[in-house]
Amino acid sequence: MGKHLIEPKDLSNDEVIELINIGNSIYANPADYSHVCNGKILASLFFEPSTRTKFSFDTAMIRLGGHIIGFADADTSSAKKGESLADTIRVMNFYSDIIVMRHPKEGAPKLASEYSDIPIINAGDGGHNHPTQTLTDLFTISRYKKTLNNHTIAFVGDLKYGRTVHSLIKTLAGFNSKKFILVSPLELSLPQFLIDYLKLNYPHIEIQIARYLEDVIHEADIIYMTRIQKERFFNEEDYLKLKNSFLLDKEKMKKAKNDAIVMHPLPRVNEISYEIDDDPRSVYFEQSKLGVYIRMALITKMLEVGDYAIS
């Protein structure tokens, strides 16, 4: 694995499986890992809002025995005074051992990595990539479905702007998925370059485009819901037209497989009815919990501590 994690392809399949194995080990025996990051500092630089990613990384580092510095609002940093990202990263290199950053601009973590001697982890860049959400998703799938291979996955919602889908679909394709069902309004379709990429590199995977979830839900092993990304729209009117496009409710869940799982990177706004939260197939809150363990595994790998310590 390279020094930085900027996009999902920075990890090979073997490295993903290795991280999942370490995540399972940490889940089973957290006390064994509670001091592996003693004396280490994680800088958490969030130029865009977050609940799960920021606080699951913070929790992960604290549970590994390390410390956190950083900001959840870039307006409290010198970015507000006009400091460049490159200068911020150069300076944070003196203060920390690893940097986790989220930024609204696509490519910002890649740029940051060019100015950093310490590892940079992309915690989401615009509508581009979200590789640690992908790790969280893969960890969840592996725990509930026992394998990452041969699934039919329905991706539902904002497939145009949703960086979690863009990251996950490329990675799952590499694990021999059976079929991808893309359910979205026409305006929020998966970008054509991604469809072309999938068709070129994974011609054996069937791709179906659907308008209504109720028409295809019965086929899905995994129902991956996503929020309409209000912050990526150029005008309010377009958002309002699409914001209630999909709602997964009890009626639709009656048509889903008994062993299907419903995932969502969260936050949800109006895509999943609260009435299905108690359905055993709804795993989205457990998914956000599992994000802590896989991020603990990732930090230990990138800092070369714990199971990854160089002897």
Annotated catalytic, 102? yes
Stretch that binds ligand CP, among 73-81, 204-212, 261-269, 272-280 (CB under 6 A): 261-269
Among 7, 22, 50, 70, binds ligand CP (CB under 6 A): 50
Determine which residue in the list 266, 292, 297, 299 makes contact with ligand CP, applying CB under 6 A: 266
Among 133, 142, 152, 171, binds ligand CP (CB under 6 A): 133
Instruction: Tell whether residue 265 is a contact of ligand CP (CB under 6 A).
Output: yes
Interface with ligand CP includes 78 (CB under 6 A)? no
Nearer to ligand CP, 52 or 143 (CB): 52
If the CB atoms of residues 21 and 270 are measured against ligand CP, the closer one turns out to be 270
Per the CB < 8 A criterion, the answer to whether 217 and 154 are in contact is yes
Instruction: Confirm or reject binding of residue 5 to ligand CP (CB under 6 A).
Output: no
Cα(96)–Cα(66) distance, rounded to whole angstroms? 11
Whole-angstrom CA distances from 37 to 40, 65, 300 are: 5, 5, 8
Report which secondary-structure segment, H or E, holds 292.
helix 284-303
Backbone torsions φ then ψ of 72, nearest 5 degrees? -105, -5
**269 is a contact residue toward ligand CP (CB under 6 A):** no
Q: Which residues have CB under 8 Å from 179's CB, separation 6+?
A: 152, 153, 205, 206, 207, 208, 219
- Residue 267 CB, shortest distance to ligand CP, in Å, is 6
Strand partners, 98: 42
Q: How many CA atoms lie within 13 A of 291 on its CB side?
A: 27
Kindly state whether residue 53 participates in binding ligand CP, applying the rule CB under 6 A: yes
Residues forming the site for ligand CP (CB under 6 A):
50-53, 124, 133, 265-267
Residues involved in catalysis = 52-53, 81, 102, 130
